[in-house]
Amino acid sequence: MKYENLLPVDGEVYLFPEMFDQPTSNELFAVLAQTINWKQEPVKIMGREIMQPRLTAWYGDEGMAYSYTGITMHPLPWTAELLKIKKAVEELSGENFNSVLLNQYRDGCDSVGWHRDNEKSLGINPAIGSVS
């Protein structure tokens, strides 16, 4: 499978443009959109509580809680579709992942801001897999 490092000087970000074929991508997207337990959580940013401008869901291994911006998410059990994606990402990356934060951007108003995944619970230099 072809891939490229988008940050060859400053880091490692590998792009795998055809991880899944189009029919598989369409099927996974449709199933996840309908079956994931999406929520819109309040978060604290600069001392203010606001609703996240997107829907999120946290799935993973038992006990893998995740905290950021004043909220703690407890994992729901992996679904068959998420496990399929997890397996593909692990095979390509050589990493093992124990959880996933899903984000659903409903329209052009939903977003995620610039951030660092530097929560202490993630450890030093955590591997972050991202599927879009």
CATH number assigned to the domain comprising residue 96: 2.60.120.590
Considering its fold, how many domains does the chain have in total? 1
pLDDT at 11 over 90: no
Residue range 20-30: average pLDDT? Answer: 96
- Report pLDDT for 95: 94
Q: What is the pTM of this model?
A: 0.84
In a domain, 127, yes or no: no
- Report pLDDT for 30: 96
Report the C-alpha gap between 38 and 106 in whole angstroms. 11
- Report pLDDT for 84: 98
In a domain, 42, yes or no: yes
In a domain, 125, yes or no: no
Residue range 37-50: average pLDDT? Answer: 87
Report the C-alpha gap between 123 and 77 in whole angstroms. 23
Residue range 53-66: average pLDDT? Answer: 91
- Report pLDDT for 9: 87
CB 81 within 8 A of CB 63: no
In a domain, 130, yes or no: no
Q: What DSSP character marks residue 120?
A: G
N-terminal to C-terminal alpha carbon distance within the chain = 17
44-56 b/e (C-beta count within 10 Å ≥ 16 → b): eeeeeeeebebbb
Which residues on neighbouring strands pair with residue 56, listed in sequence order? 39, 103
In a domain, 13, yes or no: yes
pLDDT in tens, 110-123: 878 677 677 777 77
- Report pLDDT for 31: 96
In a domain, 67, yes or no: yes
In a domain, 123, yes or no: no
Which range marks the domain in which residue 44 is found? 4-111
